[in-house]
Each structure stands twice: as C-alpha cells, then as structure tokens.
Amino acid sequence: MAAPATADICDANAAHVISGDLRVLQQKFKIYGQRRAFSGPIVTVKVFEDNVLVRQLLESQGEGRVLVIDGNGSRRCALLGGNLGQVAQSMGWAGVVVNGCIRDVDEINNCDVGVRALGTNPLKSNKKGLGEKHVPVHIGGTLIHEGEWLYADSDGILVSKFELSVE
C-alpha cells in the first residue's frame, strides 16, 4: 500500500497540527532509495560518527518500520551505505531517515527502501558501538519518540504521535 501524501495528511489532520501531535521536520533532507514515499512506526537511534548500532537495528526485522538515526547532523562521515541499504530492504524496513550523511548512493538508489539524509560523504563511520538505541531524538527542531509515526514523500517529512488517516 502506498503511503498517503504528506500534504493530504496535513489537510485532513489540521487539528493535530495545531495541537502539536503532528509535526513537520524543518530539516532539509535529500531523497534517496526507490521508495519516494514511505511511512511507518518509528525506531530511534542516537549516534555520532559511528554506525554499529545502526547496523544492529537494521539487521532486526523491520516489519514496515522507519529507522530514525540522529547523527547530530554530522557531515564528516556516512552512517548508512549500500550494504546497509540492502540489509534494510531484505529485513523489511520501510525507510531510514539519517540526520547525517550516507554513501554508496547508486547502490542505495537501487534498494526498495526510502532513505532521507542531509547529504553524502564517501568516508565510512567509526565502529566503536557508541550511542543509544530506543531513546528520544531531536532533529530539525522536532522531538521524536520511538513508536510515533513517520510519513515521508517529496514534499517533506511528518512525525505524528499516532497513526493517521487522510479521510
């Protein structure tokens, strides 16, 4: 099933926008991967220039969820590459949002997964296993909790406290 359009979600849920239950990520993300639009419940991870925990989470069953990676906006290395893009696809993740960089763009663009990132960097990350899984993250002026819902398309990214409809 295709993800509903973010504009339609906003229009149909104006009261949730006003209450703050539905928020727009203000950060400007670039679009990668074959899924131009995706949605699902959020799993969070907070890391800094280290993607060991990212790999651990992506190697678990995605079940249509979205991994939100708070890399503190660092552009000094990539937190996701082609191999992890393939892992995300094979494990059933709907998408990955990276507050940081990715690499192996051509490989990621061949994956049936939605990816959003600040940009690219060919340098791989550290492998020390530092960071925190399943914690609230703060990206683009928005506090994001695990279990909330993320909706992404070409217009932007929305975060909601609960699953939304466009009726």
Q: Which residues are annotated as a binding site for Mg(2+)?
A: 104
Give pLDDT tens digits along the chain (167 positions): 567 899 999 999 999 999 999 999 988 999 999 999 999 999 999 999 999 999 999 999 999 999 999 999 999 999 999 999 999 999 999 999 999 999 999 999 999 999 999 999 999 999 999 999 999 999 988 999 999 999 999 999 999 999 987 66
- pLDDT of 167: 63
Is residue 138 a part of any domain in this protein? no
In a domain, 20, yes or no: no
144 domain residue, yes or no? no
pLDDT score, position 2: 67
148 occurs within a structural domain: no
Please give the annotated binding residues, written as ranges. Answer: 81-84, 103-104
Count of domains observed in the chain:
1
Residue-number span of the structural domain to which 99 is assigned: 6-14+25-131+155-160
Binding-site residue numbers for substrate are 81-84, 103
Any domain includes 121: yes
- Secondary structure string (H, E, C) spanning the chain: CCCCCHHHHHHHCHHHHHHCCEEECCCCCEEECCCCCEEEEEEEEECCCECHHHHHHHCCCCCCCEEEEECCCCCCCEEECHHHHHHHHHCCCCEEEEEEEECCHHHHHCCCCEEEEEEECCCECECCCCCEECCCEEECCEEECCCCEEEEECCEEEEECCCCCCC
Model confidence pTM above 0.75: yes
